[in-house]
A and B are shown apart, each in its own frame.
Chain A
Amino acid sequence: AQSVTQPDIHITVSEGASLELRCNYSYGATPYLFWYVQSPGQGLQLLLKYFSGDTLVQGIKGFEAEFKRSQSSFNLRKPSVHWSDAAEYFCAVGASGGGADGLTFGKGTHLIIQP
């Protein structure tokens, strides 16, 4: 069975500073990887996804993530955060068929932006 670990429960970043959120996964084959963002009391919005090909993927809102098979990681990055980026971020992995049987989520990282 697959699993996802997000080591950081909370991260505080100053506005304008760079950001990296960590995600490690466990899955025997090539995984389908996703990053979602959730504002309080809302549903999840897809930021980006990796299925195959170029290991550096670009997403919405200026986010990017890099798939590193050797480290079983899929870390999310942004060069300069904005106050509106404050939210909960979830990394997820899908198995067969890209998650047709459902996604496995990490427990999330709560991002706090300092003015």
Chain B
Amino acid sequence: DGGITQSPKYLFRKEGQNVTLSCEQNLNHDAMYWYRQDPGQGLRLIYYSQIVNDFQKGDIAEGYSVSREKKESFPLTVTSAQKNPTAFYLCASSSRETQYFGPGTRLLVL
């Protein structure tokens, strides 16, 4: 089945720890995106990548990092610099101006 997978579904972070969220797509899409969702806030763009080995900061990139070594994969690292990481994280990929979303990862702080 074609689609976007995100893992894990739930992730727990200890204070001072870096954690990495996985996003994989087999839709052959060039562009991929990471959004953060907080209750009552809608979605906000963290990072995006339009092509392999290139990525751009979104509106709230501070405390996050990404890589794009393969077309299929766009992992997001939440670093210890992100002081309020508790949120629902959504990955998307895009073809012909339309973004399709994965099922999300919920990050919680211990």
Contact = CB atoms under 8 A, between A and B. Distances in A.
A47 B47 CA distance: 24
A43 B94 contact: no
Contacts of A104: 45
22 contacts: A9-B40, A34-B98, A34-B99, A43-B6, A43-B102, A43-B104, A46-B100, A49-B98, A51-B97, A97-B97, A101-B56, A102-B48, A103-B43, A103-B45, A103-B99, A105-B42, A105-B44, A106-B42, A107-B41, A107-B42, A108-B40, A108-B42
A97 B48 CA distance: 14
Interface size class of A (residues with CB under 8 A): 20 to 34
Nearest to B40: A107
Interface of B: 4, 6, 31, 33, 35, 40-45, 48, 50, 56, 58-59, 90, 92, 94, 96-104, 106
